[in-house]
Structures are given as structure tokens and as C-alpha cells.
């Protein structure tokens, strides 16, 4: 579609041809380029405490990098403070005071106790419609299956989307201990100790538990064929499940963890691990075919000095990689340039699908009158190279160092303000705004008839009413009814 986009007061005012505008209107010439909605990264960890350290990217540096790469909105994960969701939320609000672009929050749940469900309700009332449950990181973030069921049921009642980090936590711990005991202490041990089978098992288990409860499910960072098959099978059966690939899985493969240079190898440590090449091929095919839809980063940045904590023990290497600035460019290079994805499908994978999943659409992820003026200009003719020197992250390494890209974000507009143009980043600390994500996103449509309802007597069976009123119990039931 060939059209002009008129922006006024932070919103898209009109989209069309030959628009009438005042003489003093600023014009950005996008001839030969694509004009798209700004990217939405639904999976980031800024200023995240983990493994005794704090990730090196704060809201200002991370969002600055995002804007330079064409991402205008992200959703960051809030961690509870001593299992208290509300204390965690207050902590993240303070972290976000330096924000320079719009953002939303997910909330993690790492324990089920007497106050968890009421706190979840309070969190939803404060504009968060998604909760993440870790099936890994035993002894730190991991929840049990019973806690997962309680959480799923609470999410269903609240109209909030449950999300899972799907790895078998017990299996991971078993693998880590044995790999290390066998003398494998470097980054390659990370990959060996958390094989695809553990991701596939946990993904299938979470999907089946979600089906039992009757809630939608969002599976974060799908990295393996094993997990992909579980997602595809559930979708084929009509279950509302979203599988989220991360951009690192579209380009990288696990051999880099075997590099003889520790600093180089350690930068690729993330969980689930970067997989062997055949998994990346399958992930790209699934993304091209629509089985996977929302492309994220799991951006959790650590400097080389922080990664060095695990120099002699891979179990101590902080898990996490960069990508918040590179996501759109890597996605374009891996999917659009080789013809696996159209530019329109690229917009969906990088922006619109996330906006729909988390109920931000049509405010975000769309170029239409009334939508937020988060707009990028993407020139498919420009070639450039990714790397530390070309980026704006606080990291001193870059997962994509030296990657050649054809196609570049040349202009980024955030809420109607030009923040990236001609290679110059112009951002204001504190200008970013929290954007609430309302409950009952589209994935909840038609769910009332699915799963087990809260009232056990309403469970559907082919054999008659439940519970069964059996012979010999009738007199007792009649006496109780009379007493009542």
C-alpha cells in the first residue's frame, strides 16, 4: 500500500494519499522504503537480579538501544521480592523511572502461598495481564506442577495470560551435576546439561496442564524441534497456545559454545540453550508457516566481566544474551531477505502479533488513525554490519558481531517524536510511559466451554450428573435437606 502517514499530538491522525497538511508540517521522505509500526519486543529483562548479579542494561540504556533498532515498545518481566508480587512491582516501577520509550510489564510468580492469588488480582488491576511461571531454575524461580495448576487457574479467572519457561528443572539439575562431575566445566557444559528433550517434555506438560485447566498458554523462547512439535500438536487440536521464538535462535547455533576463547563462548550462554543448526532451520520454517508467530529477544545483557564469574564452572555463568537493538534487522535478514517471509508478515512477527497477544492492539502494532505514533522507516537497500561499535547497548560484547545485514531502520518515531534519524539517537530520560495491558486478550475468546470449570458438579460427563447420588445415601441426603 502506498500512503502517507500524518502524525499529530503523539497519535496517528490519518493515513492516506495526498493528505492536506499545514505548510509548516515536517515531512520525512520515505521514498523507496517501508513505513511500518514500531517493533514490540514482548520478552526483556532490564536491570534484572539473577545469580547474585544485576544485568548491566538498565531501562534507559536498553530502551535507547531498542529505539535505534526500530523497537518502540517492550514488555519487561517483573520478579517478586521475597515472593511478594506487589513489592516486586514497586521495585520495577522505580527501575523504569529512567524509561525513554513506552513499556509494559509481565509479572513472574515463583511461589504459591496464601497471598499469591489476591496479589495477582491486584497486579491485574494495575495494568498487567500476563504471569510467567518458571519450570526451571530449581531452588530459585522454579514452581512445582501443583503451583503451576494453581497459577493457571488464577490466570483463567482473572483473564490473564499464563506464560511458561519450559524446561524440566529437575532434569536440568541432574544434568548439570553430572556434566560438571565428568570434568566439563566450560560453556559447552551448559548446552550438554539442558538438551532439547527437557524443553520438549516441559513444553508438553505445560500445554496439557493448561488444557486441563482450560486456559490459553504462551510458551516463551521456543528453541527446539522437541518443543515446537508440542506447540504445533496443541494448535492442531484447537488449543490456544502461542509459541515464541527468540531471534538468536534464527541465526546462531550451539557450536559457538565450544569456542576456545572463554569470553567469546560464554556470551552465548542462555536458557534454553542455543541449539544445533537443524533446530534453527525448523524454527524458521515454523515461523514462515505461522506455527510460531511472536518473535522476541529474551534480552538480558551481561558484560564479559560478569560472565567471567563462571570461568571455571559453567553453572555460575549468568544466563542471558543481547538482541533488543538487533532483533528487527536479524529477523529481516534471516526471514525476508531469503524469501521465507513477506514484509507484511515481518510486521506481524515483529510488532502486530505481540500487540494482539497482550491486548495492546490497535493502540500498538498498527498504522491507523487513533493508534500511537510509533512508526519506523525501513530502507531495504541499506547494508550495514552489526557489532559492539555499531550498537548502543551497555554491553561490551555482541552476539551478532560482524553479521552483515541488508535493510536498515533509518528513522524511528516514538509517540510522535523522531528519536532516531541519520544515525543520530535523540532520547530523553523519563519520557517513556507505562502502557497498561488489559485482561481478557483475544486468546480468551470462546474459552468458557473448555477445560474443567471451577464447580466440580458442572464437569461434563457422558454418564449422568456429578457427583453421583448412590443407593443408601438418599435417606441421609433427604434428612440433611430437611434440616437445612
pLDDT at position 453, please?
A: 52
pLDDT at position 482, please?
A: 61
- Buried residues in 30-47 as b, exposed as e (16+ CB within 10 A): beebbbbbbbbbbbbbbb
Q: For the chain, 484 residues long, give each residue's pLDDT as a single digit of tens.
A: 789 999 999 999 999 998 989 889 999 999 999 999 999 999 999 999 988 899 999 999 999 999 999 999 999 999 999 999 999 999 999 999 999 999 999 999 999 999 999 999 999 999 999 999 999 999 999 999 999 999 999 999 999 999 999 999 999 999 999 999 999 999 999 999 999 999 999 999 999 999 999 999 999 999 999 999 999 999 999 999 999 999 999 999 999 999 999 999 999 999 999 999 999 999 999 999 999 999 999 999 999 999 999 999 999 999 999 999 999 999 999 999 999 999 999 999 999 999 999 999 999 999 999 999 999 999 999 999 999 999 999 999 999 999 999 999 999 999 999 999 999 999 999 999 999 999 999 999 866 555 555 555 556 677 877 778 888 776 666 656 566 5
pLDDT at position 471, please?
A: 82
pLDDT tens by residue, 139-180: 999 999 999 999 999 999 999 999 999 999 999 999 999 999
pLDDT at position 242, please?
A: 98
pLDDT at position 374, please?
A: 98
Non-local CB neighbours of 316 within 8 Å, separated by 6+ positions: 51, 309, 310
Amino acid at each position: 500500500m502506498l500512503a502517507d502517514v500524518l502524525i499529530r499530538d503523539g497519535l496517528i491522525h490519518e493515513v492516506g494519499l495526498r493528505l492536506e497538511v499545514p505548510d509548516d508540517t515536517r515531512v520525512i521522505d520515505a521514498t523507496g522504503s517501508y513505513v511500518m509500526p514500531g517493533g514490540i519486543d514482548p520478552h526483556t529483562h532490564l536491570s534484572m537480579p539473577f545469580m547474585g548479579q544485576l544485568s548491566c542494561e538498565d531501562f534507559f540504556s536498553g530502551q535507547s538501544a531498542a529505539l535505534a533498532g526500530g523497537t518502540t515498545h517492550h514488555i519487561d518481566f517483573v520478579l517478586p521480592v521475597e515472593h511478594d508480587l506487589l513489592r516486586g512491582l514497586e521495585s520495577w516501577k522505580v527501575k523504569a523511572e529512567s524509561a525513554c520509550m513506552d513499556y509494559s510489564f509481565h509479572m513472574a510468580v515463583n511461589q504459591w502461598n496464601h497471598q499469591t492469588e489476591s496479589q495477582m488480582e491486584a497486579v491485574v488491576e494495575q495494568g498487567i495481564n500476563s504471569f510467567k511461571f518458571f519450570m526451571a531454575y530449581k531452588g530459585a524461580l522454579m514452581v512445582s506442577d501443583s503451583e503451576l495448576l494453581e497459577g493457571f487457574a488464577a490466570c483463567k479467572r482473572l483473564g490473564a495470560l499464563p506464560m511458561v519457561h519450559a524446561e524440566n528443572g529437575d532434569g536440568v539439575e541432574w544434568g548439570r551435576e553430572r556434566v560438571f562431575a565428568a570434568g566439563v566445566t566450560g560453556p559447552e557444559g551448559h548446552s550438554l546439561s539442558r538438551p532439547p528433550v527437557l524443553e520438549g517434555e516441559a513444553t508438553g506438560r505445560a500445554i496439557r496442564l493448561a488444557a486441563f485447566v482450560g486456559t490459553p498458554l504462551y510458551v516463551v523462547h521456543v528453541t527446539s524441534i522437541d518443543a515446537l512439535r508440542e506447540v504445533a500438536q496443541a494448535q492442531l487440536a484447537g488449543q490456544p497456545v502461542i509459541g515464541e521464538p527468540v531471534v538468536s535462535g534464527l541465526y546462531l547455533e550451539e557450536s559457538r559454545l565450544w569456542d576456545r576463547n572463554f569470553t567469546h563462548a560464554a556470551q552465548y550462554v542462555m536458557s534454553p540453550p542455543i541449539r544445533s543448526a537443524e533446530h534453527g532451520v525448523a524454527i524458521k520454517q515454523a515461523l514462515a508457516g505461522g506455527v510460531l508467530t511472536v518473535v522476541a529477544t529474551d534480552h538480558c545483557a551481561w558484560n564479559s566481566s560478569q560472565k567471567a564469574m563462571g570461568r571455571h564452572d559453567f553453572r555460575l555463568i549468568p544466563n542471558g544474551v543481547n538482541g533488543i537493538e538487533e532483533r528487527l534487522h536479524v529477523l529481516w535478514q534471516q526471514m525476508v531477505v531469503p524469501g521465507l517471509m513477506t514484509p507484511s508478515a515481518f510486521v506481524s512477527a515483529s510488532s502486530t502479533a505481540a500487540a494482539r497477544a497482550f491486548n495492546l492492539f490497535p493502540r500498538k502494532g498498527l498504522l491507523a488513525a487513533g493508534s500511537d505514533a510509533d512508526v519506523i522507516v525501513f530502507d531495504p537497500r541499506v547494508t550495514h554490519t552489526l557489532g559492539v561499535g555499531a550498537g548502543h547497548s551497555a554491553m561490551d560484547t555482541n552476539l551478532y558481531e560482524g553479521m552483515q545485514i541488508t535493510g536498515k531502520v533509518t528513522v524511528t518515531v516514538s509517540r510522535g517524536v523522531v528519536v532516531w534519524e541519520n544515525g543520530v539517537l535523540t532520547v530523553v530520560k523519563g519520557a517513556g510511559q507505562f502502557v497498561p495491558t488489559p485482561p481478557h486478550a483475544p486468546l480468551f475468546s470462546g474459552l468458557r466451554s473448555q477445560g474443567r470449570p471451577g464447580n466440580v458438579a458442572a464437569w461434563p460427563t457422558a454418564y449422568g450428573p456429578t457427583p453421583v447420588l448412590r443407593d443408601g445415601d438418599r435417606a441421609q441426603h433427604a434428612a440433611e435437606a430437611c434440616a437445612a
